[in-house]
Amino acid sequence: MRYLSLILAISIVTLAGCNQYARLLKKGTVEEKYAAAVKYYNKKDYVRATPLLEELLGNFKMKKEAPEIYMMYSYSHFYQREYTLAGYHFKNFVETYIYSPRKEEAAFMYSSCEFNKSMPYDLDQSNTKSAISTIQVFINQYPESKYMDNCNLMMDRLRGRLHKKAYETALLYYHIEDYKAAMVALTVAVSDFPDIPWKDEMTFLTFKSAYLYAKKSVTSVQKERYLNAEMFYKEYMDEFGRGGAYIEDAEKYYKKLLSEKSEVESKLIAIKQEAAKNNENK
């Protein structure tokens, strides 16, 4: 019984609060709405603060309070994880209040919104690339900004997603034995991201994919493809030398490559000799 009474009391208080808020929205004065908006905002009740702030933007459009109200409104969307809306308004703040002391802050928050719109690495990375560009613009405009450490952290995380995406995509081609596509994906990934954490492995797999691609090819094109694989082996050795984590595997496959290339060369010579003999007999 005591538990039911407590629930009833809470329900009555909540209902009274809702009715009070509804009356404020409908009949409150500008001053009352402003005071309530600030109160709700400071209490982190952004759901209630947002409609009030949106209305106040029109009431205070040409007044000194306008920039502060707009920042609160933008932050209210941000804290509700409405990053597209928040980003739009932070960007608009930068373009509207070009002499505001909070312009840099708004520009950083726009970058933060773009960062938060970035998807996990296994999904489309268009937003990630857009966020990197946006943050780079901020870094270029405010090289001494107090937000620089935050920007560097965001950039590291965004680049990490692109690195992981490139790595996993290339590995997928390798694992399904599409070695030609694996070669291309691995080469492009290492070229695009020279600081990728798996560079050693990916450079080795480029060589191994080239070798396996040659091995599975028809005799007429094998020699050329083995030579191409040999080039990738030399690139791996030049890059990592004896310090490579995959040096033993690389040397093992290189020995196989040389042996198989020699066999292919012998086959090609035999094929040419047979063709010449057949021509003589005609």
Domain 177-282 classified CATH 3.30.300.20? Answer: no
> What pLDDT does 27 receive?
72
> Which amino acid, one-letter code, is at 148?
M
Nearest to 200 by CA among 151, 160, 165, 249: 249
Please say if the pLDDT value at position 279 is more than 80.
no
Please say if the pLDDT value at position 59 is more than 50.
yes
> What pLDDT does 25 receive?
78
Please say if the pLDDT value at position 227 is more than 80.
yes
**CA 178 to CA 78: how far, in whole Å?**
44
pTM: 0.84
Residue 215 vs residues 208, 237, 270: alpha-carbon distances, Å: 10, 21, 19
Mean per-residue pLDDT, 60-66 = 88
**CA 230 to CA 254: how far, in whole Å?**
7
> What pLDDT does 28 receive?
80
Beta carbons within 8 Å of 86's beta carbon, 6+ residues apart: 74, 75, 77, 78, 109, 113
**CA 204 to CA 201: how far, in whole Å?**
5
pLDDT tier at 22 (50, 70, 90 boundaries)? confident
The answer to whether residues 210 and 232 touch, using CB atoms and an 8 Å cutoff, is yes
Residue 19 vs residues 15, 27, 32, 34, 242: alpha-carbon distances, Å: 6, 12, 15, 18, 75
What would you report as the CA-atom Rg of the chain, rounded to the nearest whole angstrom? 32
Nearest to 45 by CA among 4, 75, 88: 75
Residue scoring higher pLDDT (275 or 262): 262
